[in-house]
Structure 1
Amino acid sequence: MKIYDVEAFPNPVRVRIALAEKGATDKVDFVPVDLMGGEHRSETSRAKNPDAAVPYMELEDGTCISQCTAITEYIDGAFDGPSLCGENPKERAVVHMMNRRAEAGLLDAVGAYFHHATPGLGPDLETYQNREWGEKQRENATAMMGYLDNVLADNDYLAGTQFSMADITAFAGLAFADFAKVEIPSDLTNLIAWRERVSARPSIAA
């Protein structure tokens, strides 16, 4: 199994944390992608992943899987250990719901702000920018932080009592927010405390 990615980028981080949670990091080969050089947009790369993004996974039979949620689903089912996606229909539904909220409302929103309202990755890669859209997405990201803080007032983790894919996505979103200089409001004490706890997990602390 191969994972094509850029180490320390937000979405690749999500997959690497999932692998670490399942104790499977040493069971895959990581293939670095020269994103700054545009390799992800090359014809060769698009043949494997039409999304022209990282990460994506290539299985031994040649099947290529992109999108972090899909990759995490595969990792969760392929390796032993506590489930990251839920053990029963209700748990899976709640995990997916919270994962999507964290993804769209925080991680993707911060990404839109970074790529549209800041220099982003530079003019060679940022071929279209809409600053107004980017600034609006920054507002949305801050609002989602407030929502997650409310959820964590009554739950240890975003989908209930167990660490899940949703927590991984939110953690990566907050890390991206740090990089993009989108601060967590200081009064969101539940979210801040959750982040400190999650940061101490071996899969993340390493």
Structure 2
Amino acid sequence: MIVYDVENFPNPLRVRIALAEKNALDAVTFQPVDVMNGEHRREAFLNKNPFAGVPVLELDDGTYIAECTAITEYIDHHFAGPSLTGETAKERAVISMMQRRAETQVLDAIATYFHHATDGLGPALETYQNIDWGQKQHTRALAGLAYFDNILAEQPYVAGEAFTMADITLWCGLVFGGFCNVSIPGDLTHLQAWYERVAKRPSIAA
């Protein structure tokens, strides 16, 4: 298997953490994509993912899987180890719900703020920007952080008692936030405690 990605970009980081949680980092080959020079927008890459995003997982039979949730689902079911996506119908539904909320309310909101209301990846790649929309997403992200602080006041992880892909998504959103100055407000103590605890997991600390 091959993972086409950019090391330390937020969405590729989600997949790398999932692989680490399943002790499967050595089972794949990582192929860097030169996003800063537009490689993701060239025909060779668009044949793998017509939406020009990383990461992309290439299976041994030539199948390409894009979108982090889909890649994580594949990783979780393909490799042995604790489940990241749930085992019962209820677990799967709750994890999927909370993962989606972490994605839309935090990670994607921060990403939109970054690409629209800051210099982002630079003028060569940021060909359209709407500053007002970016600032609105900054506000949305802060509301998302407050929401998850309330969730984590009642339970140890985003979707309940176990670490799942929902935690991975929220973690990567906060890492991205730190990069573009969207930090955890000081009064969100439950979210901060969760962040510090998750930072010590081997899959992340490494």
TM band (smaller chain): over 0.9
- 1:89-117: CA deviation from partner (whole Å, max 9, x where unpaired): 00000000000000011000000000000
The two structures have a TM-score, normalised by structure 2, of 1.00
Cα deviation, residue 6, structure 1: 0.2
- 1:106-142: CA deviation from partner (whole Å, max 9, x where unpaired): 0000000000000000000000000000000000000
| Counterpart for residue 45 of structure 1 | 45
Q: Which amino acid aligns with 2:35?
A: L
Residue ranges of structure 1 left out of the alignment (5+ in a row) = none
Please give the alpha-carbon distance, in whole angstroms, between the structure 2 residues aligned to 1:51 and 1:170.
23
Q: Within 5 Å, give how 1:108-127 maps onto structure 2.
A: 108-127=108-127
Please give the alpha-carbon distance, in whole angstroms, between the structure 1 residues aligned to 2:103 and 2:53.
16
| Counterpart for residue 54 of structure 1 | 54
Please give the alpha-carbon distance, in whole angstroms, between the structure 1 residues aligned to 2:89 and 2:50.
31
Please give the alpha-carbon distance, in whole angstroms, between the structure 2 residues aligned to 1:70 and 1:35.
21
Matched position secondary structure for 2:37: coil
Please give the alpha-carbon distance, in whole angstroms, between the structure 2 residues aligned to 1:29 and 1:51.
22
The two structures have a TM-score, normalised by structure 1, of 1.00
- 1:146-177: CA deviation from partner (whole Å, max 9, x where unpaired): 00000001110000000000000000000000
| Counterpart for residue 131 of structure 1 | 131
Q: Which runs of 4+ in 1 moved over 3 A?
A: none
Please give the alpha-carbon distance, in whole angstroms, between the structure 2 residues aligned to 1:133 and 1:105.
14
| Counterpart for residue 168 of structure 1 | 168
Q: Which amino acid aligns with 1:169?
A: T
Please give the alpha-carbon distance, in whole angstroms, between the structure 1 residues aligned to 2:155 and 2:69.
22
Between the two proteins, the alignment pairs up a number of residues equal to 206
Please give the alpha-carbon distance, in whole angstroms, between the structure 2 residues aligned to 1:48 and 1:121.
22
Cα deviation, residue 196, structure 1: 0.4
Q: Within 5 Å, give how 1:57-76 maps onto structure 2.
A: 57-76=57-76
The CA RMSD measured in Å over matched residues stands at 0.4
